[in-house]
Structure 1
Amino acid sequence: MSTQARTPVGTPMDGARISGSAMMSVSTTFHPNAVVDQLPSDLILVSSDKVYFHVHCYRILGASENGFCSLLPPKAQVQRGGTQMITLAEPADVLNVVMHTIYNFSASQFMPSFEALEAALGALVKYGVPLKQCVVSGSPLFALLLSSAPTRPIDTFALAGSHELEDLAVAVSPHLLAYSLPSLTDELARRIGPVYLKRLFILHYGRNEALKGLLLHPPNPHMETPDCSDAQQRYLTRAWALASAHLVWDARPNLSVNLLQATLRPLEKDLTCELCKQSLKERIAQVVADWSAVKRTI
């Protein structure tokens, strides 16, 4: 018998073990000759699409709080020297993530889809693996889920909320600053749950209010000079108010520093007083610094 790697898990064939004319798909990570543990594998898990995972019973039982959904005997009753085979309901791409999580390996090289990751979390719950122990900052599964945030931010946030994964929800939330909250569907709101949904609304509202507060104060006036009267300084105040109103009207919580500067800096071109110009520059710098410091996470 020989083991031949074919294609990554997530496609119909992730490896092949040939015996005579029969061909079996075998996990490229958890195959019979894989060195993933000091002990030889004693358990074969078969996915619904017939991919074989050669794993260790003690590892599975050590990670599971329900005997792997009662499919495995208690630790004290595990027989040594034999190999048990169990067929599961999950497809290979989902089971692959589950096994990598139990072994604390990264499955990022297989590039599982978001749907596979979502199903893997459900499978981990089903098989008694506590998510709050394996989806924590710094863990392989946490990193894999967070990698979905740039392209699927609201879905990743909903997944975190539905499983009450605090670290993941917080890490994903900056990616939702550009999200239009009125577009939330009832189904998404239900999955996110009232606690994390409220925190998301507070994040958006808080940043918008912070921006209004920062722009409320115009550049500081200076003492009148022969070249710049109080009336001339009021022109800068009015121009600042108009530019600020434009920013606040269109602004989203993800307003960039570049856009902020691009809107306020042109006010300088109509100023002739060097003191007014300096006051404007200082105020813009302060607004930019304060806006950069406003909280970006739930």
Structure 2
Amino acid sequence: MRVLVTGTAGQVSQSLQALSSPEIEIVAVGRPRLDLADPASVAAAIEDVQPHAVVNAAAYTAVDKAESDETAAFAVNRDGAGAVAAAAAAGGIPIVHLSTDYVFPGDKTEPYQEADIVGPTSVYGRSKLAGEQAVAAANPAHVILRTAWVYSPYGANFVKTMLRLAADRDTVRVVADQQGTPTHAGDIAAAIAIVLQQIAADPQGSSWRGVFHMTGSGETSWAGFAEAIFAASRGLGGPSAVVQPITTAEYPTPARRPANSRLSNARFRSTFGHSLPDWQDGTRRCVAALLGR
């Protein structure tokens, strides 16, 4: 099975590339050959690669910058995603599209389910929701995977930021009133591979189509996540710091973050027979990789 993955440098793209095998050949294509802001390049790349499935892992992810760069965010996250889905549909190719917890307002007291009312509170969230809608409208053979708090040994992310800060200071202030589930990009890639296998086994099936939530197991706050990172690092002889919990109000950002980013993975588990590992397990593996242990 040949799979075209949009983007080459993103956390999920790099994690998928690491999983490439004779059974699932990953062909990652990024700019300028495939540019989500250039629909013609999207169609040409898909035609050239001739994949059996497409994973749209590329996105505009600068959450705060999007607040003042709305046109660019929507050009990539809505129009680009729609172009990928349409080009895939033209070739009868299914698409797996990555989305986010930011499509929800974050005011629910329980984990969000797929059927819950959306209501993004940021430009980034609105652009990603519009992308979901564009993908679903353009290609009926779609799997939309909402995930959250992604980290990995690749790119820029919370784990790498915490380790960098701990190398320079004894105390780190971290928001404690936002709840969610850290999700290792490597675990996302492994789960996508399971989705792709089910698509390959039943390409005309309907059970695998639609929107699914897919995050690590368990839940915590950003402060709790930081504490787990430092505990893992300390155990391996790496940098560590004391976490000072603060409120969202004490750390204002241009984009409003959901207070509750917890997503229920029940539908994904029942459909694909798979649960992502506990977020703490993923954290330990990521820290070990970053420290070279």
Q: TM-score, normalised by structure 2?
A: 0.23
Larger Rg: 1
Question: Normalising to structure 1: TM-score of the pair?
Answer: 0.22
Structure with greater helix share of residues: 1
1 or 2, which has the higher strand percentage?
2
